[in-house]
Amino acid sequence: MRYVTLNNGVEMPILGFGVYQIPPEQTERAVTDALAAGYRLLDTAAAYGNEEAVGRAIKAAGIPRDELFVTTKLWLQDAGEEKTKRAFDTSLRKLGLDHLDLYLIHQPFNDVYGSWRAMERLHREGAIRAIGVANFHPDRLVDLASFNEVTPAVNQIETHPFFQRTADQEVMREHGVQLQSWGGFAEGRGNLFTNPLLSEIAEKHGKSVAQVVLRWLTQRDVVAIPKSVRADRMTENIDIFDFELTDDQMSAVATLDTGSSLFFDHRDPEVVTRFAGFRRDTD
């Protein structure tokens, strides 16, 4: 496994396992299979509703805690200095852990500054090894980095061959923020898995299109967190470190960039309204 070093010196696997849209009743088995396949970075969120299942799989696996890198995220309704601390404690309890490796603000809305102050405090206290954000466009990211004590270690954003975020990544590099991809396979949109260019590259390497996409991401120093409920796909997805895309192939993939999201634009007022209306289950 390759690692990236975050801006505070913490090492993070460049390839992990995400559990977005995996139903809670399937999550424990999926995470168990992922850990058996060799994944050590696990990515979940309060809004996914499956933190407890992730925690059960971690406990059952018996893997030393210092070998795991566990991420979860703060949802909108829990924004604010006091609410963030309570939400963090709830996530930690559901995961059955005594600390997190990475805690992210899930969306760039509501009381981001209050949440960040609480996260900075938790970070100072050692409850979180690194803190970061998700879905922040460069202006919001630079604003947060410029006016706070701790610069976000990670920004998790939609990144795939059809929306490559190269300009965003350059801004992140300037500020020492690690880019992490969500939607690395674009959820199959745009016929990604049958794309002629990606298929041709895959054939030349004797690999699948999924493996080519993950290799492309990691060669760009982007952390990827592919999701699957199939153990064979998990094994395939982690098997990407025995080949390398050529400079010409990397340049060819760059031509697939449309410059636009395939999902939603966080600067669209209707999108903001939709997210504001979403309420995760609480307990």
Per residue in 120-165, pLDDT tens?
999 999 999 999 999 999 999 999 999 999 999 999 999 999 999 9
In this structure, are residues 51 and 72 in contact, taking their beta carbons and an 8 Å threshold? yes
Q: Encoding tokens for residue 273? A: 């309204």
pLDDT tens digits, residue range 76-123? 999 999 999 999 999 999 999 999 999 999 999 999 999 999 999 999
pLDDT tens digits, residue range 18-29? 999 999 999 999
Share of the chain above pLDDT 70, in %: 99
Average pLDDT, the chain: 97
Instruction: Report the C-alpha gap between 27 and 4 in whole angstroms.
Output: 26
199-203, 213-217, 264-268: the lowest-pLDDT one = 264-268
Residue 42: strand pairing partners: 17, 70
Give CA 274 to chain center in angstroms: 21
Predicted pLDDT at 222: 98
Predicted pLDDT at 279: 74
Question: What domains does the chain contain, in order, with CATH numbers?
Answer: 3-276 (3.20.20.100)
- Per-residue confidence band for 280, with pLDDT thresholds at 50, 70 and 90: low
pLDDT surpassing 90 at residue 277:
no
Asked if 103 is an active-site residue, the reply is no
Question: Among the options 39, 48, 103, 113, which is catalytic?
Answer: 48
Predicted pLDDT at 281: 63
Question: Which value, to the nearest 10 degrees, does the dihedral of the CA atoms of residues 206, 208, 211, 217 take?
Answer: 100
Does the predicted model carry a pTM greater than 0.85?
Answer: yes
Q: What's the per-residue H, E or C state across 81-138?
A: HHHHHHHHHHHHHHHCCCCEEEEEECCCCCCHHHHHHHHHHHHHCCCEEEEEEECCCH
pLDDT tens digits, residue range 233-253? 999 999 999 999 999 999 999
- Per-residue confidence band for 66, with pLDDT thresholds at 50, 70 and 90: very high
pLDDT surpassing 70 at residue 282:
no
